[in-house]
Structure 1
């Protein structure tokens, strides 16, 4: 098929590469413009731009598409069979959605209609869902409201992180979009019940509230890995938390209190959570044993509550 590909982050790269390997004619890749990154704030192209250029695909990086008449005309002139969209990050106007023969097909990282929106991977883990997956959907003017074509499912375990689920769903999405384009099925409307929304994440979503339950804190750490990451305060410093493990030990200590010499911390429901990886300012992420060799955290130390 003659395709346009529209995506920006790492999640979209396997699909682009799979479509190219399957022999589709990808005439252009749309992605968000290069952004300042690193200490020097040099402009860094998106992962999709890097991958597309490596495959010899033309790349376009408009700032917006809503009223971009010149881009609408260019897109129409491509005479596309379909456009494939994966975490692009820009809203496509109706004039572009309706241009390709088979429309615009989105690779969405959830089992629609659950977790429409910007952060479905993290939302599924935060909510304690037992499964997640990918839905290939026909895009319309709504927010992830289009008809569904294909879906794939994956079980979530008590140790699934956003990072591991991201990689699993990126690979699944790549496989499913190739299968979908091989023989496009009839679309089916999304169910009207069970709709949920996953809002865009901010850094504040990573702040640990130790008065939550051990299950909520564990899911938060796993859902926010690697971004925005979770953090707390210790002796006036912001400490990043990389990994934790719930333990079947009860405690009457105040939430956030260290109750043994290996970073076992009391939670709001009278249970405990062991911090296994963490990072102090100016240092790399390290195992708890290594952290404790450089900083003493005696029993009774209290990690700050959010408003302490």
Structure 2
């Protein structure tokens, strides 16, 4: 089948490799343009760009699409059976949505219509969902509103992080898109009930509010690992909270109060144990090693 692939981050790479490995003719790979990154702000290609070049595939990196009629015409000239889209980062205008014979198929990391939008993996963990999954959807002009072709669920456990869930769903998406192309299942409209949205995350989403209960803060730590990460302030120092665990014990100490052995009082009398921390400019440390070298003492306040 003659395809275009449109994606940018690590999440999209397994699907690109699976399509190429299955023998589909990938006429072009679209991804975000190189951007300044790392120390020195060097121009850096996204993960899909790197993977496509390693596979010998032609890469296009338009900065915008909405009003670029030349880009619309170039896309139509590819004479595609379908386009596969996975976390591309640009909105496809109607002329491009309509160009492939079987449309543009999106690999979305949730069980639609739950968690439409930019950060569905993190949103599912933050909300305490016990499962999520991947939906293959035929795209329309709405935000993740198109009809569904396939979906498959995976569990979210008490130790699931966004990082581990990302990798599970990326592999699942690669498998499901191959099925969707091979089987051409009928498209089913999304239900009107149960629609939720997962907005784009910011660094401020990572600030810990100790007035929330320990279970909610634990979900925040797991959901925002690795980005934007969770953090708290101890005096003038900002501490990254990399891992934590809610405890069954109760306390009457005010939220944010440091207890013994790296435990912290949270909202509702609950307690969270910090298990791995990082200071600015330092390496991550397990809590016992951290406390040997940093004065985080019982009675101190975090905020």
TM-score (norm 2): 0.99
Q: Does 1:281 align with 2:280?
A: yes
Give yes or no for the alignment of 1:78 onto 2:78.
yes
Q: Distance in 2 between matches of 1:209 and 1:235?
A: 15
Structure 2 alignment gaps of length 5 or more? none
Secondary structure, in 3 states, of the residue corresponding to 2:125?
helix
1:175 — aligned with what? Answer: 175
Supply the RMSD in Å over aligned alpha carbons: 0.6
Q: Corresponding residue for 1:123?
A: 123
**Residues 190-237 of structure 1: per-residue CA shift (max 9 Å, x gap):** 001000000000000000000001111011111000000000001211
Residue deviations 1:263-296, cap 9 Å, x none? 1000011010000011011101111111112112
Instruction: Specify the alignment match of 2:265 in structure 1.
Output: 266
Three-state SS of the structure 1 residue aligned to 2:267 is coil
Q: What corresponds to 2:197 in structure 1?
A: 197
Residue in 1 aligned with 2:232?
232
Which 5+ residue runs of structure 1 have no aligned equivalent? none
3-state SS of 2:253 partner: coil
| Deviations 1:144-178, CA, capped at 9 Å, x for gaps | 00000000110110111100100000000000001
Which residue does 2:246 correspond to in 1? Answer: 246
Aligned length: 303
TM-score by length of structure 1 reads 0.98
1:109-139, Cα deviation, whole Å (9 max, x unpaired): 0000000000000000000001000000000
User: Could you say what secondary structure the match of 1:269 adopts?
Assistant: helix
Consecutive aligned runs of 4 or more in structure 1 exceeding 3 Å deviation: none
- CA–CA distance in structure 1, aligned partners of residues 62 and 250 of structure 2: 55
Q: Distance between the aligned counterparts of 2:92 and 2:174, measured in 1? A: 21
Tell me how far apart the structure 1 counterparts of residues 13 and 289 of structure 2 sit (CA, whole Å): 36
Question: Partner of 2:51: helix, strand, or coil?
Answer: helix
- The equivalent of 2:218 in structure 1 is 218
Tell me the residue number matched to 1:296: 295
